[in-house]
Amino acid sequence: MSILFKGILTVIMVGLSGNFAAHATSPDVGKLEKALQTHITHDQAVGLVVGILDDNGRQIISLGKSDRLNGPVVDENSIFEIGSVTKTFTGILLAEMVIRGEVSLDDPVAEYLPENVTLPSRDGQQITLRHLATHTSGLPRMPDNFKPVYATNPYADYTVQDMYDFLSGHKLTRDIGAVAEYSNIGMGLLGHILARKAQMPYEDLVKQRILRPLGMKDTTITISAAQKPHFTTGHDPAGEPASHWDIPTFAGAGAFRSTGKDMMTYLAANMAVTVTSLSPAIEMSHRFQHEFGSKDMYIGLGWLTRTGAEATVIWHNGGTGGYRTSIGFDKSRKRGVFVLTNSQDDPDKIAMAILKDEIASLVVEPAETITNVGKFVGDYQLAPNFILSVTAEKGRLYVQATGQVKLPIYVKGQNEFFYKAVNASLSFIEDEAGNISSLILHQNGNHPAKKIR
């Protein structure tokens, strides 16, 4: 029993239903800025940098702070962790190396690993580079020997040897190439292999082959002394400062940091607004390779594509402990958008609202006031060693499960609350005297917890 831990991405995106004009007009920047400001005012976001690229040019909107407590305001040069948007770098890198003739999409992965590493196979079929890039390798989302020493920086102590040990001992449970299942270890392994092939660190390789040719000067894994003042602080679901994440072994899955200025450059390159030596590799990374989860979703090399009756959006999102990112574009309508935030605000919702000209839907209303918050405060026992501690701060309720971060909950109804950070809700139960005596956690079932303090 646990409230789910979030990894370096969420691949769930709001659908493409809605009104897409045949030829998109630029959104009213004033209205958009006012709508986004409500996210800051009502504590849904700490800092936001939003970029729009369309027929009217490039616009970047920056709102909020780099740190909730005492940070400067964010701008286009502020640095954010972009999590799994890194996977699109890895996909383009693979395409670039294929075009150079250095590797082939259908090369067996085992060819690029040390001889003492045994890569799992199934029914005589081997995992290829294409399988890793399209999440069809049969490898799981995360390795079963992933046991972080520090929950606040969970990937920092996972070593290459740990990855090799997992691969050598893992047995695939489904056919290779049959079904796409999102895999951080798969894309992390791909980045590792490409770096081994090029005989240089993954970060250096991406900078040499992708970032420098595009002019993305502040996109990096290693933060320099000159960049430190621009590096924002991430914030957890309770709005508290979160540790930066270090992802050495799975770097290809989510280690990069970037700025609004650089993400605009990246957006322009992917939309073919700017043409560079990388354009063939970028175009190759967009091509459909495999169905991804539903009949309207496909994956290329890293990039995802969602198709609809009125639009086709190429996109990816990302998240680390204190950051969320989304980037998406519709080439036919010539509109692209990216969203960077150092909080738990939903960047996909913002991005899709901009793409669909639904700016009014972004306005955040003030949270409903909770009367008599004190009656809910206490410790509730779900299991012998698993407690939900409910606290109140400034009229708001927070819940912290044993060994996990504190999360805010929001009013749903009388004695009913819900989480925004995870798919769960709580019902508080009153005794005959009107006092709260227990609660029920609604998450993958109904789980009662008695109030013990």
Question: Do 151 and 114 share a domain, yes or no?
Answer: yes
Residue 24 lies in a domain: no
Residues 193 and 314 in one domain: yes
23, part of any domain: no
User: By CB neighbour count within 10 A (0-12 exposed, 13-18 middle, 19+ buried), where does 432 fall?
Assistant: exposed
Residue 35 lies in domain: 29-362
- 331 and 410 within one domain: no
CB 279 within 8 A of CB 272: yes
Phi, psi for residue 57 in degrees, rounded to 5:
110, -155
373 secondary structure, DSSP code = G
Number of domains making up the chain = 2
**Is residue 18 in a domain?**
no
User: How far is 66 from 69, CA to CA, in rounded Å?
Assistant: 9
CA-nearest of 134, 183, 9 to 84 is 9
Q: Are residues 349 and 403 in the same domain?
A: no
* pLDDT for res 412: 85
Q: Is 410 among the domain residues?
A: yes
User: How far is CA 188 from each of CA 48, 84, 97, 123, 300, rounded to the nearest angstrom?
Assistant: 28, 10, 17, 24, 16
Q: Is residue 17 part of a domain?
A: no
For residue 22, being part of any structural domain is answered with no
What pLDDT, in 10s, does the model give residues 159-206? 999 999 999 999 999 999 999 999 999 999 999 999 999 999 999 999
Which among 362, 386, 402 is the end of a domain? 362
∠ CA 35-40-43, rounded to 5°? 125
Q: Are residues 194 and 69 in the same domain?
A: yes
Q: What is the mean pLDDT of each run of 10 residues along the chain (453 residues)?
A: 44 49 69 95 92 96 95 97 98 99 98 96 96 98 95 96 98 95 97 99 99 98 98 92 97 99 99 97 98 92 91 95 97 94 94 93 81 91 94 89 87 88 90 95 93 94
Q: Is residue 153 part of a domain?
A: yes
- Same structural domain for residues 283 and 355? yes
Handedness of CA 258, 261, 266, 270 (dihedral sign): positive
Q: Can you say how many angstroms the Cα of residue 390 is from the centroid of all Cα atoms in its chain?
A: 28
In a shared domain, residues 296 and 377: no
Residue with tokens 């005794």: 431
Residue 193 lies in a domain: yes
CA atoms within 13 A on the CB side of 314: 25
Give the end of a domain, one of 304, 339, 362. Answer: 362
Residue 18: predicted pLDDT: 47
Query: Within this chain, do residues 394 and 285 fall inside the same structural domain, yes or no?
Result: no
- pLDDT the model gives residue 25: 65
pLDDT number for residue 24:
55
Kindly state whether residues 296 and 404 are assigned to the same domain: no
CATH number, domain of 206, equals: 3.40.710.10
Q: The domain spanning residue 400 has which CATH number?
A: 2.40.128.50
Tell whether 322 and 436 lie within a shared domain: no
Interhelix angle 86-100/184-198, rounded to 10 degrees, is 40
Q: Coil, strand or helix: which one is 444? A: coil
Domain end residue (candidates: 314, 329, 362): 362
Q: Are 356 and 408 in the same domain?
A: no
Q: Are 322 and 308 in contact (CB under 8 A)?
A: no
Angle at 168 between CA 162 and CA 169, to 5 degrees: 90
What DSSP character marks residue 211?
A: I
94 with 173, same domain: the answer is yes
